[in-house]
Amino acid sequence: MIQITPFLDSKRKTPLYVQLYQYIKEGIESGQLKSDTFLPSIRELALHLRVSKNTVEGAYQQLIAEGYVESIPRVGLKILELEATFLCDKGGKQLQNVTMGEIQREHKSIEFDFVYGEIDTAHLPLKVWKRHVQEVLKGASEELLMYGDPFGDWHLRQELSHYLLQSRGVSCRPEQVVITAGTQHAVSLLCQLLSLHGSTVAFEDPGYNGVRSVFINQGCRIAPIPIEADGLSLSRLHESHANIVYVTPSHQLPCGMILPVHKRSLLLEWAYEHEGYIVEDDYDSEFRYQGQPIPALKALDQNEKVIYLGTFSKSFLPSIRVSYMVLPGELVPLYQQKLANYNQAASQLIQRALYTFIKDGDFQRHIRRMKKVYQSKHHTLLKSVKTYLGDRVTVIGEKSGLHVLLNVPGREDHELIEKAMACGVKVYSTKTFWYNPKNQCSSFIMLGFGKLSEEAIKKGIRRLQQAWF
């Protein structure tokens, strides 16, 4: 039984029953009152709205007369389905929104989708993860029902500080760790914390547009810093007059190179000289396939000038929406002063399940397994590119992460994408990553391989050969 709560104004000249009729009619037309559901009984609605039964009856009679509802004896008034053409669009404007269903329809003819940002779901330890969620649900203590610590679950922050030291060389106390609802949420909090509106933020170009948008929406000026063969151009950074820089040193997004050690030292020196901050987004550092593990830039930071951002979106599950940042010690009191009455934004249930997931070693086991899975996919991708595309393309950023770039000299991305699409393969432009579209290397194609099987990777790349050459 649906409930109806219109605003009825007895001072208006329109009689109450007409106001009620109009209100219900509008609800049916807009689809908010669903067909095949029943209106409340006259008695119930009159009681609920504190109006006379006559008022409700009058409205109902009118609705029956106009065919919006049908009286089913001994049951009530059923809302009838309207002809689609009869539906009016409130405000006359067609609102656009791409739903899941539409996205899927669009992809129907695509056999191999080299999308970036999706992960391998076949090897996810979903059973184990569900067990952790269920355990937390089972034990649900009162503390788990409330808002919780504004910085995030204390146990999770402790586990993260252990994890960060062990896997990323980052030395920090749990007090410095803040749990956020995704990396963009973290960056938005940082903009507020450091009052960045009107400031210049040096930003990799090309770089991660998702974070760049946050800085722009928060009123920052972007100083685009070109990416050289070995990463961020430090000379251009020095020229930028920015005193904050956003970087992805473990795996430049989208180019994929790892910032070499000498540039890391120079970058830190820049921050110390300028009293500036480095925002290090370590988004898929867990997956590195060649050479010795490289600790985070934060691990080298002696003067507490690196703000470290980590996420579970790549390493575990995009949908859990939990990321974290490590604040330099000096920013913790400022955070408490400015932002500590912000409620924690990540679900307590999920935070606590993540805590036991890490504590019991299940997360680490998952990472080890996925590293092998992705390494093998990565190997297959590079091998297939070599076999099928050969010298006609160059691979960029091939040492780590869940994507690579192809450079196809003399060709344009839109043409390559269309030709691939015609053969059932979806590949991607790097266009959105460039701040200045003029600088764009339009011969770059982005291939994400996280969610594709090795078989699909191989077939997809062979299909690209047919499509392109």
Q: Which of 44, 118, 228, 362 binds a second copy (CB under 8 A)?
A: 118
Closest CB to a second copy among residues 65, 340: 340
Examine residue 91 and tell whether it contacts a second copy (CB under 8 A).
Answer: yes
Closest CB to a second copy among residues 219, 390: 219
Which residue from 14, 87, 9 is spatially nearest to 49, judged by alpha carbons?
9
Closest CB to a second copy among residues 411, 426: 426
**Identity of the amino acid at 251:** H
Q: Which of 14, 35, 43, 48 binds a second copy (CB under 8 A)?
A: 48
Segment near a second copy (CB under 8 A); pick from 23-31, 234-242, 411-419, 423-431: 23-31
Give exposure, 256-274, as e/b (b: 16+ Cβ within 10 Å): bbbbeeebbebbbebbeeb
Examine residue 260 and tell whether it contacts a second copy (CB under 8 A).
Answer: no
As a whole number of angstroms, the distance between CA 297 and CA 170 comes to 8
Min dist. Cβ of residue 409 to a second copy (A): 29
Min dist. Cβ of residue 141 to a second copy (A): 10
Site for a second copy in 373-402 (CB under 8 A): none
Q: Which residues, other chains included, contact 236 with Cβ-Cβ below 8 Å and sequence gap of 6+?
A: 225, 226
As a whole number of angstroms, the distance between CA 379 and CA 32 comes to 52
Examine residue 67 and tell whether it contacts a second copy (CB under 8 A).
Answer: no
**Cα–Cα separations (whole angstroms), residue 286 to 166, 181, 401, 441:** 12, 20, 8, 28
Tell me how crowded residue 350 is: count the other CB atoms within 10 A of its CB. Answer: 23
As a whole number of angstroms, the distance between CA 467 and CA 107 comes to 18
Closest CB to a second copy among residues 85, 319: 319
Which residue from 212, 135, 183, 185 is spatially nearest to 436, judged by alpha carbons?
212
Tell me the helices (H) and strands (E) count for the chain, helix number first.
15, 15
Look up tokens 């499509």; give the residue: 467
Examine residue 261 and tell whether it contacts a second copy (CB under 8 A).
Answer: yes
Closest CB to a second copy among residues 214, 279: 214
Closest CB to a second copy among residues 85, 94: 94
CB distance 421 to 107 below 8 Å? no
Closest CB to a second copy among residues 115, 408: 115
Segment near a second copy (CB under 8 A); pick from 66-74, 127-135, 233-241, 412-420: 127-135
Segment near a second copy (CB under 8 A); pick from 172-180, 222-230, 276-284, 456-464: 172-180
Site for a second copy in 151-170 (CB under 8 A): 151, 154, 161-162, 165-169
Which helix (H) or strand (E) segment is 114 a member of?
Answer: none
Segment near a second copy (CB under 8 A); pick from 65-73, 114-122, 275-283, 461-469: 114-122
Closest CB to a second copy among residues 64, 128: 128
Closest CB to a second copy among residues 26, 238: 26
Examine residue 3 and tell whether it contacts a second copy (CB under 8 A).
Answer: yes
| Contacts for 386-391: CB closer than 8 Å, 24+ residues apart | 387/461, 388/461, 388/462, 388/464, 388/465, 389/461, 389/464, 389/465, 389/468, 389/469
CA angle 183, 188, 194 (to 5 degrees): 120
* Helix 183-193 vs helix 331-339: crossing angle, to nearest 10: 90
Q: Which of 146, 230, 239, 407 binds a second copy (CB under 8 A)?
A: 146
Q: Which of 72, 111, 230, 293 binds a second copy (CB under 8 A)?
A: 293
As a whole number of angstroms, the distance between CA 389 and CA 393 comes to 6
Site for a second copy in 327-356 (CB under 8 A): 329-330, 332-333, 336, 338-339, 341-350
Q: Which of 50, 74, 108, 438 binds a second copy (CB under 8 A)?
A: 50
**Cα–Cα separations (whole angstroms), residue 27 to 3, 36, 87:** 12, 14, 11
Q: Which of 27, 226, 276, 424 binds a second copy (CB under 8 A)?
A: 27
Site for a second copy in 191-220 (CB under 8 A): 192-193, 195, 197, 209-210, 213-214, 217-219
Q: Which of 133, 234, 417, 421 binds a second copy (CB under 8 A)?
A: 133
Judged by CB under 8 A, the number of residues near a second copy is: 112
As a whole number of angstroms, the distance between CA 151 and CA 453 comes to 38
Site for a second copy in 391-450 (CB under 8 A): 432
